[in-house]
């Protein structure tokens, strides 16, 4: 699969997709959100205006949600604190629908669906080691561990999504990022407390 | 000045090519850029997304963060000698256990080697704002397509390896990383941050990337030795070592060095004068 045709041209000094570069050259000036002059009919239209910020955010959120989703499913199964399992079920559903939207955007950007951050110490990422530890724990120790991991995940994904809501090049990406950041606030607020 | 790159095969060939006892014929200038700061930021992979990255150690430009671009970097200060080099250099942070370790030797060489002498003579300055990534942060094993090497200072007998090596007491762990030196002549970056640059093929730049530019060789010396089992990078194992670079050299300073040091194959120091 070919990567998205985005580049920085020395002449413009900006990170722009090829289509936008040509429209700038033709029109002289344009807004990333301006409608394309000749929309191409397609089941999956390319993502207009997307930059390295959009790529970075989408390629980070997908593995973050994937990994957290596995921990949420474990929590839905195993949590003992009141309300935690129910919360985890709802939160896992939110993560599933987010992932579906993110993967559509990824496809439209022509990017492969691979975890480019595997093995890295990514802030807030639920790692394979975290999942293995979660599977070994039970009772209150499991609840405390899961709550800490998920608080980190929700907080970090809210942080990068707030940034993407401001900095992403594509309006669609900015809107999805803003929605996810809002969802995170709700999820954090509803996160059950457990006694130490 | 320590002999450059004694642990790397291409550098060994370079040293052997010295025509006279007292004149080493090497196309080289350099910048010595001590560690500046650490941050979970990456202006190439995660532009505009502060805190999104694994931990990085930054060298050279003192302002590098998730929002950096050529303009912001150009108006800032540098840890480099010469301080005219405002370039941003960064690598994944090295940890010994849970303690971050910064390299105490931080030399960024710009070299002509890697292509034939007649091509070295045609080297063009690195364009301002050019972004280059080297190494493979996603490597899943030591054989996974990485050019980065670890070795031991003054202990060539240990050899070099994509993974961490066990350096004798009193030695230092060294990281060598050569950046690609053939540019496509058009783009300062690309979607995968790699395809606008290429390594040479058979001593020449390929037709897809026809413009020879100085080869950046990053040499970092970390004050650690012994059993490396306690070492890791923020990106994982030793073989995930990688380097990122945004060129912010002033155009005239870069041009002068390419003209006086690289094209005529002359060894220069940090001031860009024959040393």
Interface residue A157 vs chain B (CB under 8 A): no
Q: What is the pLDDT of residue B23?
A: 56
**What's the CA angle centered on B50, arms B60 and B132, to 5 degrees?**
45
Q: Are B153 and B174 in contact (CB under 8 A)?
A: yes
- Which has more pLDDT, A48 or A33? A48
Q: Write phi, then psi, for B64 (nearest 5 degrees).
A: -60, 125
Q: Tell me the C-alpha distance between A1 and B192, whole Å.
A: 12
Q: What is the pLDDT of residue A32?
A: 38
Q: Are B272 and B82 in contact (CB under 8 A)?
A: yes
Give Cα B258 distance to the centre of its chain: 17
What's B124's DSSP letter?
A: P
Using one digit for the tens of pLDDT, what is the confidence trace for A92-132?
999 999 999 999 999 999 888 888 888 888 999 999 999 99
| Minimum CA–CA partner of A7 in chain B | B190
pLDDT at A147 over 50: yes
Cα separation values, B260 from A31, B250, B254, Å: 44, 16, 10
pLDDT at A40 over 80: no
Q: What is the pLDDT of residue B143?
A: 82
- Phi-psi label, residue A28: left if phi above 0, alpha if psi -120 to 50, beta otherwise: left
Q: Are B217 and B109 in contact (CB under 8 A)?
A: yes
Spatial CB neighbours of B23, under 8 Å, sequence gap ≥ 6: none
Q: Which of B45, B195, B235 lies at the smallest CB-CB distance from A56?
A: B45
Q: Which of B131, B188, B234 lies at the smallest CB-CB distance from A121?
A: B234
Across residues B116-145, what is the average pLDDT?
Answer: 94
Q: From chain B, pick out residues whose CB is under 8 angstroms from the CB of A61.
A: none
Spatial CB neighbours of A163, under 8 Å, sequence gap ≥ 6: A57, B48, B49, B50, B52, B66
Q: What is the pLDDT of residue B258?
A: 98
A100-111 burial, b at 16+ Cβ within 10 Å, e below that, comes to eebeebbebbbb
| Mutation for testing the A interface, residue in B39, B40, B52, B192 having most A CBs under 10 Å | B52
Structure tokens at A74: 């474990």
Lowest mean pLDDT of A49-58, B15-24, B252-261, name the range: B15-24
Spatial CB neighbours of B13, under 8 Å, sequence gap ≥ 6: none
Q: Are B96 and B224 in contact (CB under 8 A)?
A: yes
| Minimum CA–CA partner of B131 in chain A | A8
Q: Are B172 and B223 in contact (CB under 8 A)?
A: yes
Q: What is the pLDDT of residue A118?
A: 85
| Minimum CA–CA partner of B94 in chain A | A121
Q: What is the pLDDT of residue A80?
A: 93
Which residue bears the tokens 């390419």? B258
Contact A123 B234 (CB under 8 A): no
Q: What is the pLDDT of residue A113?
A: 85
Percent of chain A at pLDDT > 70 equals 76
Q: Tell me the C-alpha distance between B33 and A72, whole Å.
A: 45
Q: Tell me the C-alpha distance between B89 and B217, whole Å.
A: 11
pLDDT at A30 over 80: no
Q: Are B29 and B269 in contact (CB under 8 A)?
A: yes
Q: Please state, as a whole number, how many other Cβ atoms lie within 10 Å of the Cβ of residue A82.
A: 11
Q: Tell me the C-alpha distance between B17 and A84, whole Å.
A: 70
What is the band of B215 on the pLDDT scale with cuts at 50, 70, 90?
very high
Paired residues of B28 in beta bridges: B111, B267
Q: Which of B44, B50, B236 lies at the smallest CB-CB distance from A120?
A: B236
Lowest mean pLDDT of A5-9, A158-162, B116-120, name the range: A5-9
Structure tokens at A123: 């802030």
Q: Tell me the C-alpha distance between B184 and B205, whole Å.
A: 10
What is the band of A195 on the pLDDT scale with cuts at 50, 70, 90?
low
Across residues B76-100, what is the average pLDDT?
Answer: 97
Give ipTM to 2 decimals. Answer: 0.82
Q: What is the pLDDT of residue A48?
A: 87
Lowest mean pLDDT of A111-115, B31-35, B263-267, name the range: A111-115
Q: What is the pLDDT of residue B18?
A: 40
Across residues A58-78, what is the average pLDDT?
Answer: 96
Q: From chain B, pick out residues whose CB is under 8 angstroms from the CB of A164.
A: 48-49
From the list B179, B186, B188, B192, the residue with the least C-alpha distance to B209 is B186
pLDDT at A7 over 60: no
| Mutation for testing the B interface, residue in A4, A46, A121 having most B CBs under 10 Å | A121
Structure tokens at A121: 């110490």
Across residues A51-66, what is the average pLDDT?
Answer: 96
Q: What is the pLDDT of residue A10?
A: 40
- Which has more pLDDT, B167 or A114? B167
Which residue bears the tokens 């992979």? B45
Q: Which of B50, B137, B187 lies at the smallest CB-CB distance from A8?
A: B187
Closest CA of chain B from A118, distance in Å: 7
Closest CA of chain B from A83, distance in Å: 31
């Amino acid at each position: 699969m070919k990567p998205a045709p985005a580049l920085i041209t020395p002449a413009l000094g900006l990170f722009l997709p090829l289509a936008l570069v040509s429209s700038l050259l033709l029109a002289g000036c344009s807004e990333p959100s301006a409608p394309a002059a000749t929309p191409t009919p397609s089941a999956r239209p390319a993502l207009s205006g997307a930059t390295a910020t959009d790529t970075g955010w989408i390629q980070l959120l997908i593995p973050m949600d994937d990994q957290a989703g596995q921990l949420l499913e474990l929590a839905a199964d195993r949590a003992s604190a009141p309300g935690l399992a129910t919360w985890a079920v709802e939160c896992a559903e939110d993560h599933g629908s987010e992932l579906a939207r993110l993967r559509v955007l990824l496809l439209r950007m022509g990017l492969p669906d691979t975890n480019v951050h595997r093995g890295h110490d990514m802030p807030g990422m639920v790692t394979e080691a975290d999942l293995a530890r979660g599977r070994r724990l039970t009772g209150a120790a499991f609840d405390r561990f899961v709550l800490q991991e998920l608080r980190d995940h929700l907080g970090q994904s809210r942080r990068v999504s707030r940034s993407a809501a401001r900095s992403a090049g594509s309006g669609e990406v900015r809107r999805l990022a803003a929605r996810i950041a809002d969802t995170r606030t709700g999820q954090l607020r509803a996160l059950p407390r457990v006694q130490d | 000045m320590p002999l450059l790159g004694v642990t790397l095969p291409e550098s060994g060939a370079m040293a052997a090519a010295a025509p006279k006892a007292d004149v080493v014929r090497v196309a080289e200038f350099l910048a010595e850029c001590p560690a500046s700061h650490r941050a979970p930021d990456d202006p190439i992979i995660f532009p505009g997304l502060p805190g999104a990255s694994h931990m990085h150690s930054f060298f050279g430009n003192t302002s590098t963060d998730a929002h950096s671009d050529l303009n912001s970097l150009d108006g800032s200060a540098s840890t480099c000698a010469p301080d005219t080099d405002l370039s941003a250099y960064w690598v994944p942070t090295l940890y010994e256990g849970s303690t971050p370790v910064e390299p105490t030797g931080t030399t960024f060489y710009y070299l002509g080697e890697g292509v034939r002498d007649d091509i070295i003579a045609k080297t063009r300055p690195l364009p301002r704002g050019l972004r280059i990534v080297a190494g493979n942060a996603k490597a899943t094993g030591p054989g996974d397509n990485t050019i980065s090497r670890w070795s031991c200072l003054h202990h060539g007998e240990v050899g070099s390896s994509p993974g961490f090596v066990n350096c004798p007491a009193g030695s230092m762990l060294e990281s060598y990383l050569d950046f690609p030196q053939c540019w496509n002549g058009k783009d300062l970056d690309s979607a995968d941050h790699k395809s606008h640059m290429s390594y040479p093929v058979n001593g020449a730049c390929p037709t897809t990337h026809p413009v020879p530019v100085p080869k950046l060789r990053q040499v970092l010396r970390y004050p650690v030795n012994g059993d490396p089992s306690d070492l890791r990078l923020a990106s994982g194992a030793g073989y995930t070592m990688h380097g990122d670079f945004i060129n912010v050299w002033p155009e005239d300073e870069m041009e002068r060095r390419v003209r006086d040091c690289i094209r005529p194959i002359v060894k220069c120091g940090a001031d860009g004068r024959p040393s």
